[in-house]
Amino acid sequence: MLDCALTLIAATDSETLIETAASAAREALTNLGARVGQPDWLAPRKALDLFFADVTLDQADVGMRALLAKRFPGAKLDLVVQEAADRRKRLVVADLESTLIENEMLDELAEFIGVRDKVAEITRRAMNGEIDFATALKTRVALFKGLPEAALGEAAARIRLMPGASVLIATSHAHGARVALVTGGFSVFARHVQRMLDFDVVIANELIIESGRLTGTVREPIVTREGKEAALISLAAEHGVPRRLTLAIGDGANDLPMLEAAGLGVAFHAKPAVAERARTRLDYCDLTALLYAQGYRATEFAAA
């Protein structure tokens, strides 16, 4: 029985390489001592599964990444190695900023008061795990004391969905999964995205507003890295979903405990420190790669 799966996915500008890369991967797995099946194409020239046995997941993952780096330098090819059983998840928990949307919303707000570069640098350091998340959040929010509430709506209008986000959520719903948005960002923006993508659950921080202006403070308790992990565990229990059937997606250091707690935790276009620690990562492809990783064929994708 071939009880492990390697999924290879090509970004748009590397699709011409995937057939050659698949052949090379199959040969390399065989050389590691694996029994390997024939490629199972999930989408022509886009994504495929290679099922294998007799080598560990870590051996396959390290070996395939080394192969891609050596044989296909510069190619935008992502890979996911996992057990073949239980690939289709019943609970999807996603981070918001730089994951489901392209924006960092505090950076967008900072533009209104002329401190975007300052706030963006604090954001970068927090997401790379260089400074405490809660402290960084409070420091940035304090800068917005007195900002009119209307600025939140103007910032929300700038939200850009990450490519593939709509298809990921629509397909997850179509196949019976629950989807939750769990973010250290703010409810005003999370609710906006919920209306766009139809999330079942939203967990986010709340900015305190008085007399139509931001107070520069956040309502406690703050959604921290521990809060994100706890949310995934709680949501799984609430909906009767075994942990192995959960999928978590995020890009920052505050997402790592959540990624590690999930059945499949994926660092998506992650900050360097996060990509280094994550068991599974996607560096190049859009969010539909998470569907291929679960064994969905392109013909099973739901319309956004």
Q: What is the 3-state secondary structure (H, E, C) of 160-229?
A: CECCCHHHHHHHHHHCCCEEEEEEEEEHHHHHHHHHHHCCCEEEEECEEEECCEEEEEECCCCCCHHHHH
Q: What percentage of the chain carries pLDDT values higher than 90? A: 90
Question: Is the same domain home to 3 and 118?
Answer: no
95-104: average pLDDT: 97
By residue range, what is the domain housing residue 273?
Answer: 86-304
Q: What is the structure's pLDDT at 127?
A: 86
DSSP string, 116-147: HHHHHHHHHHHHTTSS-HHHHHHHHHHTTTT-
Q: In this structure, are 136 and 281 located in the same domain?
A: yes
* Residue 12 and residue 30 in one domain: yes
- Asked whether residue 286 falls in the same domain as residue 276, the answer is yes
Instruction: Of 35-39, 113-117, 185-189, give the lowest mean pLDDT range.
Output: 113-117
End residue of a domain, out of 28, 62, 85: 85
Task: Report pLDDT for 129.
Answer: 87
Q: % helix / strand / coil in the chain, to the nearest 5?
A: 45, 25, 35
In this structure, the answer to whether residues 209 and 261 fall within a common structural domain is: yes
- The amino acid occupying position 205 is N
pLDDT higher than threshold 80 for residue 131: yes
pLDDT tens digits, 214-252: 999 999 999 999 999 999 999 999 999 999 999 999 999
Q: Are residues 251 and 291 in the same domain?
A: yes
Same domain, 96 and 225: yes
Strands 201-205 and 178-186, by their bridges, are: parallel
Q: Of all helices (H) and strands (E), which one includes residue 234?
A: helix 225-238
Phi, psi for residue 150 in degrees, rounded to 5: -60, -25
Residues 72-81: pLDDT tens digits? 998 999 999 9
Q: Are 241 and 252 in a shared domain?
A: yes
Answer whether residue 120 shows pLDDT above 90: no
Boundary-marking domain end, from 64, 85, 106: 85
Q: Is the pLDDT of residue 304 over 80?
A: no
pLDDT value, residue 128: 86
- Do 170 and 105 sit in the same domain of this protein? yes
Cα gap 177→283, rounded to integer Å: 25
Q: Which two tokens stand for residue 117?
A: 């570069």
pLDDT digit string (tens) for 150-204? 999 999 999 999 999 999 999 999 999 999 999 999 999 999 999 999 999 999 9
2 and 71 assigned to the same domain: yes
Is the dihedral angle over the CA atoms 269, 275, 278, 280 positive or is it negative? positive
For residues 183 and 2, what is the distance between their CA atoms, to the nearest angstrom? 37
pLDDT at 222: 95
Domain tally, the chain: 2
pLDDT in tens, 38-80: 999 999 999 999 999 999 999 999 999 999 999 999 899 999 9
* 208 & 225 share domain: yes
Chain mean pLDDT for the chain: 95
Residue range 80-91, pLDDT digits in tens: 999 999 999 999
Among the three residues 66, 85, 104, which one is the final residue of a domain in this structure?
A: 85
- For residue 23, CA distances in Å to 20, 70, 125, 222, 281 come to 5, 15, 40, 48, 22
Whether 68 and 121 map to the same domain: the answer is no
CATH code for the domain in which residue 200 is found: 3.40.50.1000
Local confidence band at 265 (pLDDT 50, 70, 90 cut-offs): very high
Of the CA atoms within 13 Å of residue 42, those in its CB half-sphere come to 27
